[in-house]
Structure 1
């Protein structure tokens, strides 16, 4: 899988390097795309070298190979001074993952599995087959999708940022602003309801957002809401620094009838009125 991602990094970066070199030389974006259509990796290297005197292999490894982050075993402190005991240090580097060399030198990362990885000598790994493991879960059709977003460890977050208790009106207005931006970002959202540290969004029955791929819906909604919250923070709390980033979890439920959607929203509002904390499980 990791070899596959690194190959994609190389393919995309090599194309983009050629594309922007052509654009900066005076071609339109359409002309640049047309010039690169059907070209091989070798063709792109030749184009860069002959037209722009750029050796692609001399480009920074971070561009060509991407970045790796892992816990390395080191015998130095944070300042680089030698120490007696081995310790773990989070390390960012740009290694080649397509062959076994990295895994031979870092066998502790994958444990016993590294022995198997090293059997192939210096041969490069095959990687196309890993796509078969991609398990896409699509939400059922003819169902109303509800995405519920709620803050994690919000008691700690509100304490650190000195929110008023039991209700902080400014914090609630910030949540409402984020909800409004969500509706702008996702036109298929037809209704939203929120209180305290959560918001539920109802997507129209026939939504084709991300082809109803549950994973993409969850990740996109979570990242967007979090980004909106951080982006709007200074607007609502101009005198408070955001000292800890918010964390929002997402749950997805599907309901076949509008009546059940209404009952779901009634249930959420009843919890608001009773001031009960949200349950830490996926709603059925």
Structure 2
């Protein structure tokens, strides 16, 4: 693999806040098989979701579960596919480094490609691991040094909107798979789930346009969310820096006299002002769904309530 791959994607180091352990690493992937191009699969709208699923499953296997890390962004690092990962748990990061050092990450990736993506019978994947300008492949035998490099590269961005949409698709499919109504063979379930274009999102197996929030959406949310506005805000703050820290409690205090409508209205105002074009209907619906506010999500989408 090229030694200088990924250097254009280095991040600025920032101090650790509240003493919490955190750090970033870039995993670069490249198929050594000429008939299977990972970067082309990433650029293909029909295969991007399945490729993301493969990456998510691989990281879950390597880090020992779904907790302790999140994918921030997928990068076109031609000829490689770059995956930017934020670790927020040192133990998960250690497990990942152990798996990477033994070659298990490559094995997990190839196994999941075979199950999820159509590819060659024998796929070989070249990988490279970097933290800033430090190529970790050169010092894997010194795990403490690798952890130091990863910890030094502090995350300075929120999760990319594209990755957030892909994560939501995975959660929606996982919920559908666990539903009693979907107790049939897995192949039947897959056929029932529609393909979702990049500019759309999935809600209850239906595809909706992922548009910017409108003033009508704003008012509808504030009118109907009631006391649950704080729960929705806590979910939105995961990907909205303007809602981090004490922002939600400050809104509750500042607009307490005006009542729940105004508190909810100001919450969404803060979200829209901060996110601009990124303040989209799909993100709000995902936050409602995460908090089991399905009825309100249906109101936001104009779905007629069931009899």
TM-score (norm 1): 0.32
Could you say which structure has the larger radius of gyration? Answer: 1
Higher helix share: 2
